[in-house]
Amino acid sequence: MSRSNKRHLFNKVIENVTIAGVAAEGKAIARHNDMVIFVNYGAPGDVVDIQIKKTRRRHLEGEIIKFHKKSASRTEPFCEHFGICGGCKWQHLSYEEQLKYKQKQVTDSIERIGKVNYPFELIPILGSQQTQFYRNKLEYTFASRRWLTPDEIQGGEEISNLEALGYHIPGFYDKVLDIKKCWLQPEPSNHIRLGIKEFAIKNHIDFYDFRTKTGLLRNIIIRNNEKGEFMLILVLFSGEEEKRESILKYIQKSFPEVISVYYMLNDKQNSSIADLEPVHFAGTFYLTEEMEGLQFRIGPKSFYQTNSRQAYELYKIAREFARLTGKELVYDLYTGTGTIANFVARQARKVVGIEYIEEAVSHARENSRLNKLDNLVFAAGDMAKVLTPEFMEQHGKPDVIITDPPRAGMHPDVLKQIIASEAEKIVYVSCNPATQARDIEILSGSYKVKKVQAVDMFPHTQHVESVVLLEKI
């Protein structure tokens, strides 16, 4: 059915539909005649009435407006912000159920997109031991006028204290939900955020106004390590030095767990911090994370897997799949700050890490120095340009390739070079099973899937990590 002859369905209510499954993007799926309807917050097995909100060419999008039957896989969401905040959209599904869908997403991708129709070892998905307070980094936005919930608007009472320090409402860059308690980062994360908010209001330090594009305070980034030490990065407009100083001092003095304080000045319209220079204000320059006695330095802008404990499990699986004996030359593609490279270096002859962010590469080198490892080299640049026959001639052809690309997967030229490298094994770590499966298909003339294990790094979200071992045919 084309989009135009679906238009009459706009705002229509479709009654008594059964939620049939969960789509890769995390929405629930229902079917009506021959059409697919995507809805948020549905659980397979629910019987509901759906109001159609969008008509697309291939599908419809709707909202659940009434429940006739609630699915047995449902559970009570624990967070008061559930349903409005974009953060943990799967809280209404039991954790068991979440893992089931994540597992299915990985195996379906490998079989359907990867066209793997031969047997391989499927190791069951590894759930996260911590399903709450598992993140080590959060970013909040200051806003002079918070997003009001439908209840508040309908309540009709006069609403004061409009300032918000919280998360963007999904799809609205200029609307911010004030957060009271977030279940993602361990305490004192909430305590710090609420303290900062209170201090700013009391001292008349302005929150960012998205309409006039003024107001000193813009964002705050809170990072922590497993030891419970915190780093705070305040993003603000330039100017008003006294106020800047007073709030930074407040942060430094009020929270003993905060061992490092930075700020960044942002006079741009957008809130991206990628091009901002961190200025050290107080305390240590880094946080340090530890794994098996290895140390990793985390600066204000460093990439580090956001669920530290589960990252350790992920790296152990990747290392186990690689089965290193100490003789191998290993390439770690998309190495970031060299975490996996450092992690496997003691079991390898030599590790070559490649990554395009220069700053990350210098952190990777620093990490291996810190760990007194001398068998690692790092190269900076775009993978498709760095990984060439000449590069492999210079550094040696890899025995094992570990690769951990971003969501888009690998560039065709990179896949071509991987095939040309004739590496015995490829350990493919991915945060996007669909692009991973696409790449596996491209590699299928030379490599076969031997093992697959999904890992859940992000409970209550639709995201899943997948580790695949490929061996040369």
Site for ligand SAH in 405-444 (CB under 6 A): 406
Whether residue 92 contacts residue 40, with contact meaning beta carbons closer than 8 Å, is answered with no
Task: Tell me the residue nearest to ligand SAH as measured from the CB.
Answer: 336
Check if 431 is active-site. Answer: yes
The rounded distance, in Å, linking the Cα atoms of 416 and 80 is: 49
Shorter beta-carbon distance to ligand SAH: residue 38 or 331: 331
Shorter beta-carbon distance to ligand SAH: residue 22 or 457: 457
Site for ligand SAH in 219-258 (CB under 6 A): none
Shorter beta-carbon distance to ligand SAH: residue 234 or 317: 317
Site for ligand SAH in 374-393 (CB under 6 A): 382-383
3 state DSSP class of 158: coil
Smallest CA-to-CA distance from 220 within 241, 197, 249 is with 197
Whether residue 9 contacts residue 15, with contact meaning beta carbons closer than 8 Å, is answered with no
The rounded distance, in Å, linking the Cα atoms of 100 and 44 is: 12
Count of residues near ligand SAH by CB under 6 A? 15
3 state DSSP class of 295: strand
Shorter beta-carbon distance to ligand SAH: residue 163 or 355: 355
Residues 6+ apart with CB under 8 A from 104: none
Question: What is the closest distance, in whole angstroms, from the C-beta atom of residue 355 to ligand SAH in the complex?
Answer: 5
Site for ligand SAH in 172-211 (CB under 6 A): none
Whether residue 196 contacts residue 258, with contact meaning beta carbons closer than 8 Å, is answered with no
Q: Which of 226, 303, 347, 373 binds ligand SAH (CB under 6 A)?
A: 303
CA atoms 408, 411, 416, 422: torsion sign:
negative
Instruction: For residue 423, give both structure tokens.
Output: 């590496």
Shorter beta-carbon distance to ligand SAH: residue 206 or 404: 404
Among the residue ranges 5-13, 32-40, 69-77, 329-337, the one whose residues contact ligand SAH (CB under 6 A):
329-337
Which one is catalytic: 79, 88, 182, 431?
Answer: 431
Question: What is the closest distance, in whole angstroms, from the C-beta atom of residue 465 to ligand SAH in the complex?
Answer: 10
The site map against ligand SAH for 333-372 (x = CB under 6 A) is -xxx--xx--------------xxx--x------------
The rounded distance, in Å, linking the Cα atoms of 76 and 94 is: 8
The rounded distance, in Å, linking the Cα atoms of 30 and 67 is: 14
CA atoms 64, 69, 73, 78: torsion sign:
positive
Active site residues: 431
Give contact residues for ligand SAH (rule: CB under 6 A): 303, 305, 334-336, 339-340, 355-357, 360, 382-383, 404, 406
